Amino acid sequence: MGYIAALFIGISLGLIGGGGSILTVPVLVYLFGINPILSTSYSLFVVGSTSLVGAFSNYLKGLVRIKTALLFGISSITTVFITRKFLIPFIPNHIATIGGFNITEPIVTMVLFAILMVAASLSMIKSSKQKAAAAAKNDNENAIGAPEKINLPKLLMYGVAIGIATGLLGAGGGFLLIPTLVLLVKLPMKEAVGTSLFIIALNSLIGFTGDLGHFTMNWFFLIKITTIAIAGTFVGGLIAKKISGNKLKKGFGWFVLIMGIYILTKEIFFS
């Protein structure tokens, strides 16, 4: 079941261009029985490697803004690395006890991840008219050579926020990145998707290096899961040519919402 789920993570990434990585940690925890903290580390490698393949494909099509990605990455990559290298190892396993309920690091990790899943699902479900209008406007401005105006303080702030989410939970954050690049950096939608994949790859893989020495990695398992997920992206890309991406994104959003609510209920009431 776990290997089939890993394939579907890749297929979902290939179908809708993002969001599938949000399922990586739950798959590792509930289907493979891996500790939630180690799962966030494994997720960084899987998500980073899969995103790098997607970013390279988009780069060949001229849809990756390298300078924008590096500018954004100044804050996000640094935040991810610091979080994984210096914060995660010092979080105690037992955090507190409230009314006989033991709050532990794995429970907190999964609850925060479930909240992130709910936020991601709502982003996928809600109407994308605002993003589409902004992307269309960006296309027109780029066509006539209008100068780009980037709010650098906001860009750095968003980078830190996404870096914290990626560092703590091992999620790529594409559902946060794409709207940021469209609405704040003024990129056309296709370039926003390609650039976000490159940023996610940098964040995730450099964040993963911060874990080296803190965890014992099962490299054979990790590479096997990553290979399956990458293969799934190519399958998803082929299917996407025949099915509407917007409808799939909303349907997938509802699935992620149900999974997020399930994880919240399980961790809070049945742990």
pLDDT digits (tens, 9 = 90+) for 137-172: 655 655 545 545 667 788 788 888 888 888 888 776
Phi, psi of 155 (to 5 degrees): -60, -45
Look up residue 76 and give its two tokens: 């996000």
Q: What's the pTM value of the predicted model, to 2 decimals?
A: 0.81
Average pLDDT over every residue of 32-59: 90
pLDDT at 28: 94
Highest mean pLDDT among 64-73, 92-101, 120-129, 255-264: 255-264
Torsion over CA: 128, 174, 83, 47 (sign): positive
Look up residue 204 and give its two tokens: 């995730």
Could you say which DSSP state residue 247 is in? H
pLDDT band at 22 (very low <50, low <70, confident <90, very high): confident
Distances from the Cα of 189 to the Cαs of 76, 90, 135, 245, in angstroms? 21, 39, 5, 14
pLDDT at 246: 67
Q: Name every residue whose Cβ is closer than 8 Å to that of residue 142 and which is 6 or more positions away in sequence.
A: 188
pLDDT band at 268 (very low <50, low <70, confident <90, very high): confident
Q: How far apart are CA 150 and CA 67, in angstroms?
A: 12
pLDDT band at 263 (very low <50, low <70, confident <90, very high): very high
Average pLDDT over every residue of 7-12: 85
Nearest alpha-carbon partner for 167 in 84, 95, 258: 84
Cβ proximity of 25 and 36 under 8 Å: yes
| pLDDT(30) > 90 | yes
pLDDT at 176: 75
Percent of the chain whose predicted confidence (pLDDT) is above 70: 87
| pLDDT(19) > 70 | no
User: What are 207-222's pLDDT values in tens digits?
Assistant: 899 888 888 899 999 9
Q: How far apart are CA 146 and CA 152, in angstroms?
A: 18
pLDDT at 3: 94
Cβ proximity of 259 and 117 under 8 Å: yes
Nearest alpha-carbon partner for 54 in 25, 98, 90, 20: 20
Average pLDDT over every residue of 108-137: 75
Nearest alpha-carbon partner for 12 in 124, 163, 148, 109: 124
Nearest-10 Cα torsion for 154, 160, 165, 167:
160
pLDDT at 140: 61
Q: Which of 196-200, 228-232, 239-243 comes out lowest in average pLDDT?
A: 239-243
Q: What is the mean pLDDT of the chain?
A: 83
Average pLDDT over every residue of 51-78: 88
Look up residue 191 and give its two tokens: 């370039």
pLDDT at 139: 59
Average pLDDT over every residue of 118-132: 71
Nearest alpha-carbon partner for 195 in 54, 45, 76, 11: 54
